[in-house]
Amino acid sequence: MSDSNNKLINRLDPTLISKLNSLELKAKTVVEGFKVGLHRSPYHGFSVEFSEHKAYMQGDPIKNIDWKVFGKSDKLFIKQYEEETNLTCHILLDISASMNYQSIGIISKLDYGKILAASLSYLMVSQQDSVGLSLYSNKIENYFPPRSNKIYLQKLLQGLENVSPTNKTETAQCLNLIAEKVKKRGLVVIISDFFDNVDSIITALKHFKYKKNEVIVFQILDPIEKSFAFDRDTIFVDIETRDELSTQPHQIRKAYQSAMNEFLEKLKSECLNNKIEYNQIDTKTPFDKALFAYFKKRTRLN
């Protein structure tokens, strides 16, 4: 891997980003690093202006082809008018107590989710999309309807900056409540660990699909939640209920991993079966992976 690629990955490293002073600076740094990555990707020559174009399809007016983009990318894209490019996006962030988990030396799932939500909001507003934000635990803690201006972005970022983990997880129940608030169809982005009943979650996600929304899921996990790589006798404390369990991790690791893998695979397969975009991301993953997933989804909606 080249030095320049290493520098880009470091620039988007969650632990380094988390040390920046404000959430706005974190979001700006992530988005700028992401755009640098786009220029080095197969989207080179087209990337930063993606919301103003869509891929040329047979039957599209030839007069709308952007020949400058073709000269840079060897691909045909046509210009879109502003009313065609605007998209309404709803970002839903789980702020329940389970999202506060973190391994030593790694940021918490909630901090990762906050930076991701802020970065997506920053990127969406820069592309003239409308963005709204819902914060939930076992109830809707805060709701910001979608708007598209930089002053409103400050309000969203402030709402995220002030977030602290709270209450138990009721993802399915809250998703259903938020779905009722979504009046104009668009793109729904959900950021959570999804530690809830899978069947109930899928039913709630289908509520958004029933209302003609596109849905993209980001399941945020701490690496140790998948590996269960504890190496000594441990007292486990449920973050939400404070119940304690003393055990030797090596004795239950295989059963835990089997149950976790079954849970993750069921959530993933059910999402895909219902045409819901699923992305599993751990808190050590550079933020560009999540933004690339959003970018690909966004370009398909043009």
pLDDT band of 46, cuts 50, 70, 90? very low
Judged against a pLDDT cut of 50, whether residue 1 lies above it is answered with no
Q: According to the model, what pLDDT value does residue 44 have? A: 42
CA–CA gap between residue 73 and residue 265 (Å, rounded): 37
pLDDT digit string, tens, across residues 236-256: 444 455 554 455 555 566 777
Residue 244 identity: E
Flag the least confident range among 109-113, 221-225, 248-252, 275-279.
Answer: 248-252
Answer whether residue 1 is part of any domain: no
Query: Is a pLDDT exceeding 60 seen at residue 8?
Result: no
Q: Count CB neighbours of 7 within 10 A.
A: 12
Q: Indicate whether 155 and 269 sit together in one domain.
A: yes
Q: Does some domain include residue 49?
A: yes
| Residues 105 and 142 grouped into a single domain | yes
Same domain? For 75 and 127 the reply is no
Q: Is residue 2 part of a domain?
A: no
By residue range, what is the domain housing residue 178? 10-18+23-37+86-300
Q: What integer pLDDT is reported at residue 39 of this predicted model?
A: 58
Are 77 and 199 found together in one domain? no
Q: Is residue 55 domain-shared with residue 121, that is, in the same domain?
A: no
Q: Does residue 69 surpass a pLDDT of 90?
A: no
Domain annotation covers residue 3: no
Q: Is the pLDDT of residue 53 over 90?
A: no
Q: Which residue has the higher pLDDT, 112 or 9?
A: 112
Q: 91 and 165 share a domain?
A: yes
252 shares a domain with 145:
yes
Burial readout 93-131 (b: 16 or more C-beta within 10 A, e: otherwise): bbbbbbbbbbbeebbbbbbbbbbbbbbbbbbbbebebbb
Residue 163 belongs to domain with CATH number: 3.40.50.410
> Whole-angstrom Cα distance, residue 278 to residue 218?
6
pLDDT at residue 49 in the model: 43
- pLDDT at res. 235: 45
255 lies in some domain: yes
Same domain, yes or no, for 135 and 241? yes
pLDDT on residue 28: 93
Q: Are residues 149 and 61 in the same domain?
A: no
Total domains present in the chain = 2
Looking at the fold, whether 272 and 248 belong to one and the same domain comes out as yes
| Cα–Cα distance measured from residue 191 to residue 220, given in angstroms and rounded to the nearest whole number | 7
Task: Give the global pTM.
Answer: 0.79
* Whether residues 210 and 73 fall in one domain: no
d(Cα 221, Cα 95) in Å, to the nearest integer? 14
Sign, CA torsion 259/262/267/270: negative
Sheet containing 214-221, strands listed edge to edge, beginning at the edge strand earlier in sequence:
140-147, 130-136, 88-94, 187-192, 214-221, 277-282
User: For residue 116, is it within any domain?
Assistant: yes
Asked whether residue 232 carries a pLDDT value surpassing 70, the answer given is no
Query: For 11-20, 81-90, 208-217, which range has the lowest pLDDT when averaged over its residues?
Result: 81-90
Which token pair is 280? 């599993």
For residue 199, the model assigns a pLDDT of 96
Are residues 105 and 67 part of one domain?
Answer: no
More reliable by pLDDT, 10 or 186: 186
CA distance 160 to 121: 11
Query: Residue 201 domain-assigned?
Result: yes
| Domain-embedded: residue 221 | yes
Quote the pLDDT of residue 70. 73
